[in-house]
Chain A
Amino acid sequence: MVLKSHNFAFDFSGSQVVVTKPNSSELGQLALKHFADEPYMRNFIVSSAEVFVLAQKQFKSCYPDPVPQTTITALSQMYRGIILELVQNLKDVGDLETAALYSNLDFVWNFCEIIFLSSNPDLPVLPYLIDWVRINFDQSSKILPEVQQELPDLGQQCIDKVWKLIYTHVFHGRTREAAKLLPFVNPRPGNSHSNGVGTSASLKNKIEFMTELLEKKPRYNPRTGSFTDFESSWASWREECVNRLEQRVFYGNEQLTFICNVLCGNDEGFSEARTKNLLTWYEYLVMLINYRFPIIRPSALKGYARKVVSDFGLGDSLEPRDIILFHAMEYDIVNVLKEIQAVWNNPWYSTHFVDLIYAGGKFSEVTDVRIDYSSVPPLRTHFIIDYGTTIMEHKPIWQIGVPYFEALEEPLRKHLIGKCIERINPKTEMEAQKLVQIAGQFNLSSELSGICRKVAVDKLKCGQMQNALLWAIKAGDSSLTTHIVDQILFEGDCKIEASLLESLRNAIPCSDRLVFLSGFCDFRKLMDKKDYANAVGKLCQLIKEDMIPKRINHKIIQHLVTLHDKNVKFRANETTILMEFVHLRVGINKIEPADFTRLNMLLVCNRANEILTMFNNKTFKQ
């Protein structure tokens, strides 16, 4: 099944779709051959469903309050973990293009997480952005091992690499990490690359000054830190940086002067940064905020981002993912989802992300940001239906779709689960049982009885009448039950396992025929045990209750006839009931003459016996 939109994507059935998306260089051409049955793809679907279930549990336990922000962020990070696992798995199977696509999804998700889920609209957004660029643009894991290998004597090439890394850390605002690397670029005495002891000593001092500045840069902790404290300590730190620069402390060392320029937020430093190792506008934006506007709120991001983009000359050629980021900065959730849907064409992101916003309920109370929270619940419903149906339509994983529909409101929940399980055709009892379980769980009585009825009919076709009866009773279908009981009575020689009947007794209100079958089986059981007196009692009870279908009369007669030489003594009234039954209900002409003679003899003997007993009793009393 291919999803609605024509441009490409999440194709569970396995056909390959190649699509070129205009204006997208990076996300460009995609060859998607994701089978949901590939273990890594299945893992992606299952793991996210598990997190989704967890999110619903949290939502339920917190209701009517929103889920705490920390929990929401943790859930969001779990989803991102799943994306990254998929990216790794895709890389392992050599599908680098798709891996890049999903790695981009993580980048976008991460940013949207900051804007919509983790950051507080009233507090600085900077700490989150520092994390965001670190996760996506940090090169330490690549460079550090190389440096480690060359220790203790670093070659010039290696020192250049360390400088690059230091710059990146500074640009990203991670000055403490930069400070830790500074000792590596301090040539030790005797090092062949140094220019002499004097230079080295003065460099050492400069590095110490720089290390101090870098280490002192105030950090803001959005959970515990006070905003005003941060503001004042940042101002004094910046003043110190400016003083150092004015005191020409780093004079003579190009790299340290450059870093100090950046720390001071000077235009000179920033424009030089673009020629260094700074590659993307995202990093530039974060640098700008780090050293010039560290206290801006998330809602102010957009203005700075616009400026950076135009400085970079990207104004007209934004990539799809940049457009999404801009929508996010505007808190325009509808457009974010729309664009993401267009690029990834997979309701996966939208479903899970909107669900988190819904669970967090964060924006319902925020008035100064332009998010239309009223659009969130319907969007959530829409995407859950979209994603849930996509999953449910893929036969092997239909059960994974159930928790998604479960998260919807009634009556939609029942309706959708009902519709989806209706479309599954169980071939074996095991498959039917799974459907019955789900139908039972959601009180889908008509679907439940539909499934059971289908199995009952199948069993009937296979000649398994008693099994069919069991399923008909499960279906609660009295007409089908009667039909099957009739078949058992009239065609199947009334054979039903006495023990099976035990289990069926509870369902007796279901059908009159079953009541009769139950009574008739008891009668036969007693006959088999040669407990004739009780057997006749049972039979009379059935006659009295008018339970016996006409078609079965001759069978009853057959049984009665066998009693003729058994010397059975009927109890009071029983002879009358049986006589009425033989004469009025069955009719003498419908009984074989030989049988009738024997039956008549049995009844007349018993009647005579009764009269005699009565007479004796009276005589005795007199």
Chain B
Amino acid sequence: MNSSMMIGGMDSSLYMDSTTARTLNRSRAAPSAKPKFVRFTNSTQTGRNVSKVRWLLDNSYIGVPDPYASEFFVSGSWSSVGDENDVGLWSLEVGPSAKEGEKDAKVTLITKAIVKGNVTDMSSLCGDRFCLCTSDGALYVYKCNKNRDEKFVSVTQAAASQLFTYRGQNSSATAVAVKDDIIVAAGEDGSIIECNSAGLGVIRRLERVDPLSISSACFVGRETVMTGNGGGQLKLWDLRSDSDVPVQILNPNVLMNNLYGASSICQHPSQTHAIIVGYQSGCMDLWDMRLGPDSDPVANLTSEGGALSEIYFHQINSDHFFSCAQSGQVCHWYPAERLSNPLQVPVEYSSDLNIEFLKKGLVFKEVHTSPFPINSMSLSRNDRIVVGSDSGVVFCTEIRV
């Protein structure tokens, strides 16, 4: 029996099902006793169902989160009348409030552009650019332009390419992943296409390689991409290889994730072989890619909310991660301060993943709740979160990890 089985296996799991639920409930009842941290919150109505939000990459970031830094994010919408959707560029300005110890946050729409079809995924690129894919199967690169005062004023389309078509009909693109200047887009038809970000020239085309639709994609190495499909499988692709066959396939825990898609994949910032995957079932699995194709997840975590939309590790404090769900919850997950239940000690745990919550147990707090589905979130380097929902609201707040 390999080490992952002990943790991830159905019987011996210490993080599964009821145990987890109990841990979670406890965390609600007795929130952690950290000193009170006054965060700013801002809710802004965009007027459109927000499908994606992403912070622009911040070139001026110097390593220490600045609570008063101005930041910019982009939003994409879906399901608008007439099938024309918005891509918005927004600024977040934070300043001290009249009340002592509090902050005022202002979110302003700088400009917006119209895009045909629903925005299905977005990703920020260097040089104030971002790319997005649509339900019409197109991939676009946009550039945010500054004026002489170094202020953003407009957004222009830098490149566009119709990537996904089948028998003359457009088929939906579903996910984009970015590594430096390379964009990988995946589609509902199971295709994976690698492009350069400059002109969207196709470098590699893996045509209909997944028999199911691909629902999420994430770079896990310079040339390797992990995709998740509608059946919850994870597949690792080597873009350098000539073969159309994935390097590795990770099958979901059938009992918990049967027939549910993998909606979001995130790689651990320092232990790059560890990935966390959010499923439509509401489960989150932590995988160790080194354990090989037939391995089980290292930990199978359940959340109380419905289908997970996105999941992200904190880039610096990587024992913390964040999730948002269709049930309207945005959660901050972090290791328990101390073991609250001795039964939780994973005695036989021997995976060499150095992840704190595997040892101590996991608790969470709700950062935000909405009665409506939350489709997307993004974490900035200044520890801000932006969240986009089907109610049309973009919600910004600050996090402390």
- Give A residues with C-beta under 8 Å from B: 37-43, 46, 49-50, 53, 395-397, 399-400, 403, 427-431, 433-434, 437, 441, 462-467, 470, 473-474, 496-497, 499-500, 502-507
Asked whether, in the complex, the Cβ of A467 is within 8 Å of the Cβ of B213, the reply is yes
Asked whether, in the complex, the Cβ of B231 is within 8 Å of the Cβ of A42, the reply is no
| New A-B contacts (12) at CB < 8 Å, excluding given A403-B371, A467-B213 | A37-B80, A37-B81, A39-B47, A41-B47, A46-B391, A49-B372, A50-B370, A397-B49, A397-B392, A462-B166, A462-B171, A465-B211
With a cutoff of 8 Å between Cβ atoms, the chain B residues found around residue A441 in the complex are 306
Q: In the complex, A38→B392 CA distance in Å?
A: 11
Q: In the complex, A399→B326 CA distance in Å?
A: 11
Asked whether, in the complex, the Cβ of B391 is within 8 Å of the Cβ of A467, the reply is no
Asked whether, in the complex, the Cβ of A464 is within 8 Å of the Cβ of B189, the reply is yes
Asked whether, in the complex, the Cβ of B307 is within 8 Å of the Cβ of A39, the reply is no
Q: Indicate if B42 sits at the interface (CB-CB under 8 A).
A: no
Tell me how far the C-beta of A266 lies from the nearest C-beta in chain B, rounded to whole angstroms: 46
Q: In the complex, A46→B49 CA distance in Å?
A: 11
| Binary contact track B170-195/A, C-beta < 8 Å → 1, others 0 | 01101000000000000011100000
The 9 closest A-B pairs by CB, nearest first: A466-B211, A39-B47, A43-B45, A53-B371, A506-B258, A46-B391, A428-B172, A39-B45, A503-B231
Contacts A39-B47, A429-B188, A470-B259 given: A46-B252 contact, CB under 8 Å? no
Contacts A46-B391, A396-B48 given: A503-B190 contact, CB under 8 Å? no
Asked whether, in the complex, the Cβ of A464 is within 8 Å of the Cβ of B80, the reply is no
Tell me how far the C-beta of B261 lies from the nearest C-beta in chain A, rounded to whole angstroms: 8
With a cutoff of 8 Å between Cβ atoms, the chain B residues found around residue A403 in the complex are 371
7 contacts between A and B (CB under 8 A): A46-B372, A49-B371, A397-B392, A399-B391, A429-B230, A467-B190, A500-B231
Asked whether, in the complex, the Cβ of A433 is within 8 Å of the Cβ of B306, the reply is no
Q: Indicate if B46 sits at the interface (CB-CB under 8 A).
A: yes
Contacts A40-B45, A502-B251 given: A507-B258 contact, CB under 8 Å? yes
Instruction: Write the chain A residue with the least CB distance to B232.
Output: A503
With a cutoff of 8 Å between Cβ atoms, the chain A residues found around residue B227 in the complex are none
Q: In the complex, A432→B231 CA distance in Å?
A: 15
Most buried by A among B189, B255, B372: B372
With a cutoff of 8 Å between Cβ atoms, the chain B residues found around residue A470 in the complex are 212, 230-231, 259
Tell me how far the C-beta of B172 lies from the nearest C-beta in chain A, rounded to whole angstroms: 4
Among candidates B166, B167, B213, residue contacting A429 with C-beta atoms closer than 8 Å: B213
Asked whether, in the complex, the Cβ of B233 is within 8 Å of the Cβ of A37, the reply is no
Q: Indicate if B373 sits at the interface (CB-CB under 8 A).
A: yes
Among candidates B167, B211, B259, B306, residue contacting A507 with C-beta atoms closer than 8 Å: B259
Q: In the complex, A206→B137 CA distance in Å?
A: 82
Instruction: Write the chain A residue with the least CB distance to B47.
Output: A39
Among candidates A50, A467, A506, residue contacting B212 with C-beta atoms closer than 8 Å: A467
Asked whether, in the complex, the Cβ of A464 is within 8 Å of the Cβ of B190, the reply is yes
Instruction: Write the chain A residue with the least CB distance to B234.
Output: A499
Tell me how far the C-beta of B187 lies from the nearest C-beta in chain A, rounded to whole angstroms: 10
Q: In the complex, A38→B232 CA distance in Å?
A: 38
Among candidates A429, A430, A464, A502, residue contacting B211 with C-beta atoms closer than 8 Å: A464
Among candidates A430, A431, A463, A506, residue contacting B255 with C-beta atoms closer than 8 Å: A506
Among candidates A396, A434, A500, residue contacting B80 with C-beta atoms closer than 8 Å: A396
With a cutoff of 8 Å between Cβ atoms, the chain A residues found around residue B258 in the complex are 503, 506-507
Contacts A53-B371, A497-B211 given: A395-B81 contact, CB under 8 Å? yes
Instruction: Write the chain B residue with the least CB distance to A52.
Output: B371
Q: In the complex, A506→B231 CA distance in Å?
A: 12
Q: Indicate if B254 sits at the interface (CB-CB under 8 A).
A: yes
With a cutoff of 8 Å between Cβ atoms, the chain A residues found around residue B47 in the complex are 37-39, 41-42
Q: In the complex, A286→B378 CA distance in Å?
A: 54
Instruction: Write the chain B residue with the least CB distance to A44.
Output: B45
Q: In the complex, A97→B171 CA distance in Å?
A: 46
Tell me how far the C-beta of A395 lies from the nearest C-beta in chain B, rounded to whole angstroms: 6
Q: Indicate if B120 sits at the interface (CB-CB under 8 A).
A: yes
With a cutoff of 8 Å between Cβ atoms, the chain B residues found around residue A467 in the complex are 190, 211-213, 230
With a cutoff of 8 Å between Cβ atoms, the chain A residues found around residue B81 in the complex are 37, 395-396
Q: Indicate if B125 sits at the interface (CB-CB under 8 A).
A: no
Q: In the complex, A470→B261 CA distance in Å?
A: 11
Contacts A43-B45, A503-B251 given: A474-B190 contact, CB under 8 Å? no
Asked whether, in the complex, the Cβ of A437 is within 8 Å of the Cβ of B259, the reply is no
Near A by CB (< 8 A), chain B positions 208-239 give: 208, 211-213, 215, 230-233
Tell me how far the C-beta of B305 lies from the nearest C-beta in chain A, rounded to whole angstroms: 11
Q: Indicate if B155 sits at the interface (CB-CB under 8 A).
A: no
Q: Indicate if B19 sits at the interface (CB-CB under 8 A).
A: no
Q: In the complex, A467→B187 CA distance in Å?
A: 13
With a cutoff of 8 Å between Cβ atoms, the chain B residues found around residue A428 in the complex are 118, 120, 135, 172, 188
Asked whether, in the complex, the Cβ of B254 is within 8 Å of the Cβ of A395, the reply is no
Contacts A396-B81, A403-B371, A503-B254 given: A39-B46 contact, CB under 8 Å? yes
Q: In the complex, A546→B326 CA distance in Å?
A: 45
Instruction: Write the chain B residue with the least CB distance to A459.
Output: B213
Instruction: Write the chain B residue with the least CB distance to A56.
Output: B371
Q: In the complex, A396→B230 CA distance in Å?
A: 24
Contacts A464-B213, A503-B258, A507-B259 given: A433-B135 contact, CB under 8 Å? no
Q: Indicate if B79 sits at the interface (CB-CB under 8 A).
A: yes
With a cutoff of 8 Å between Cβ atoms, the chain A residues found around residue B135 in the complex are 427-428, 430
With a cutoff of 8 Å between Cβ atoms, the chain B residues found around residue A462 in the complex are 166-167, 169, 171, 189
Q: In the complex, A506→B249 CA distance in Å?
A: 19
Asked whether, in the complex, the Cβ of B259 is within 8 Å of the Cβ of A429, the reply is no
| Binary contact track B365-398/A, C-beta < 8 Å → 1, others 0 | 0000011110000000000000000111100000
Contacts A43-B45, A428-B188 given: A437-B372 contact, CB under 8 Å? no
Tell me how far the C-beta of A424 lies from the nearest C-beta in chain B, rounded to whole angstroms: 10
Q: Indicate if B280 sits at the interface (CB-CB under 8 A).
A: yes
Among candidates A46, A396, A434, residue contacting B373 with C-beta atoms closer than 8 Å: A434
Asked whether, in the complex, the Cβ of A500 is within 8 Å of the Cβ of B211, the reply is yes
Q: In the complex, A433→B49 CA distance in Å?
A: 15
With a cutoff of 8 Å between Cβ atoms, the chain A residues found around residue B215 in the complex are 429
Instruction: Write the chain A residue with the least CB distance to B233.
Output: A499
With a cutoff of 8 Å between Cβ atoms, the chain B residues found around residue A41 in the complex are 47
Q: In the complex, A403→B48 CA distance in Å?
A: 19
With a cutoff of 8 Å between Cβ atoms, the chain A residues found around residue B233 in the complex are 499-500, 503
Tell me how far the C-beta of B164 lies from the nearest C-beta in chain A, rounded to whole angstroms: 11
Q: In the complex, A49→B215 CA distance in Å?
A: 30
Tell me how far the C-beta of A426 lies from the nearest C-beta in chain B, rounded to whole angstroms: 10
With a cutoff of 8 Å between Cβ atoms, the chain B residues found around residue A474 in the complex are 259
Q: In the complex, A504→B259 CA distance in Å?
A: 7
| Binary contact track B238-260/A, C-beta < 8 Å → 1, others 0 | 00000000000101101101110
With a cutoff of 8 Å between Cβ atoms, the chain A residues found around residue B120 in the complex are 428, 430
Instruction: Write the chain B residue with the least CB distance to A53.
Output: B371
Q: In the complex, A40→B81 CA distance in Å?
A: 17
Tell me how far the C-beta of A218 lies from the nearest C-beta in chain B, rounded to whole angstroms: 35
Among candidates B45, B166, B252, B326, residue contacting A463 with C-beta atoms closer than 8 Å: B166
With a cutoff of 8 Å between Cβ atoms, the chain A residues found around residue B230 in the complex are 429, 467, 470
Tell me how far the C-beta of B313 lies from the nearest C-beta in chain A, rounded to whole angstroms: 24
Q: In the complex, A474→B258 CA distance in Å?
A: 10
With a cutoff of 8 Å between Cβ atoms, the chain A residues found around residue B188 in the complex are 428-429
With a cutoff of 8 Å between Cβ atoms, the chain A residues found around residue B249 in the complex are 499
Instruction: Write the chain A residue with the least CB distance to B258.
Output: A506
Asked whether, in the complex, the Cβ of B307 is within 8 Å of the Cβ of A433, the reply is yes
Among candidates A437, A464, A504, residue contacting B307 with C-beta atoms closer than 8 Å: A437
With a cutoff of 8 Å between Cβ atoms, the chain A residues found around residue B370 in the complex are 50
Q: In the complex, A578→B371 CA distance in Å?
A: 61
Instruction: Write the chain B residue with the least CB distance to A495.
Output: B211
Q: In the complex, A50→B252 CA distance in Å?
A: 36
With a cutoff of 8 Å between Cβ atoms, the chain B residues found around residue A466 in the complex are 211-212
Instruction: Write the chain B residue with the least CB distance to A505.
Output: B254
With a cutoff of 8 Å between Cβ atoms, the chain B residues found around residue A437 in the complex are 306-307, 326, 373
With a cutoff of 8 Å between Cβ atoms, the chain B residues found around residue A504 in the complex are 231, 259
Tell me how far the C-beta of A499 lies from the nearest C-beta in chain B, rounded to whole angstroms: 5
Tell me how far the C-beta of B53 lies from the nearest C-beta in chain A, rounded to whole angstroms: 16
